[in-house]
Structure 1
Amino acid sequence: MDQRERGAPHLSTVNPAGLAAPGGHYSHVSIANGLVFVSGQLPIDASGRKLIDEPFEVQAEQVLANLACALARAGSEVAKLAQVRVYIVDIEYWPSFNEIYARWAGEAKPARAVVPVPALHFGLKIEVEAVAVL
Structure 2
Amino acid sequence: MPKVVVTPKGTGVPIAPFSPGTLADGIVYVSGTLPFDKENNVVHVGDAAAQTRHVLEIIKGVIETAGGSMADVTFNSIFLTDWANYAAINTVYAEFFPGDKPARYCVQCGLVKPDALVEIASIAHIGKS
The letter for the 1-side match of 2:104 is R
Cα deviation for residue 109 of structure 1 reads 0.6
In the aligned structure 2, how far is the partner of 1:82 from the partner of 1:97?
Answer: 18
Contact 1:15 1:21 in 2 (8 A): no
Contact 2:75 2:124 in 1 (8 A): yes
In the aligned structure 2, how far is the partner of 1:35 from the partner of 1:19?
Answer: 20
TM-score by length of 2: 0.88
In the aligned structure 1, how far is the partner of 2:25 from the partner of 2:69?
Answer: 16
Structure-1 residue corresponding to 2:85: 93
Structure-1 residue corresponding to 2:97: 105
Q: SS of 2:15's equivalent?
A: coil
Which structure has more helix as a fraction of its residues? 1
Aligned length: 125
For the pair shown, the structure with the greater C-alpha radius of gyration is 1
Residues 1:121 and 2:112 aligned together: yes
Residues 1:14 and 2:6 aligned together: yes
Pick the aligned partner of 2:52 from 57, 60, 64.
60
Q: SS of 2:113's equivalent?
A: helix
Segments of 5+ residues of structure 1 without an aligned counterpart are 1-8
Identity of aligned residues (%): 26
User: What RMSD, in angstroms, separates the aligned Cα atoms of the two structures?
Assistant: 1.5
Segments of 5+ residues of structure 2 without an aligned counterpart are none
CA deviation map 1:72-129 (0-9, x unaligned):
1111110000101110001121111111111121214110111111x10111111000
Residues 1:83 and 2:75 aligned together: yes
Q: 1:125 to 1:61 in 2, by over 3 A?
A: same
In the aligned structure 2, how far is the partner of 1:132 from the partner of 1:111?
Answer: 11
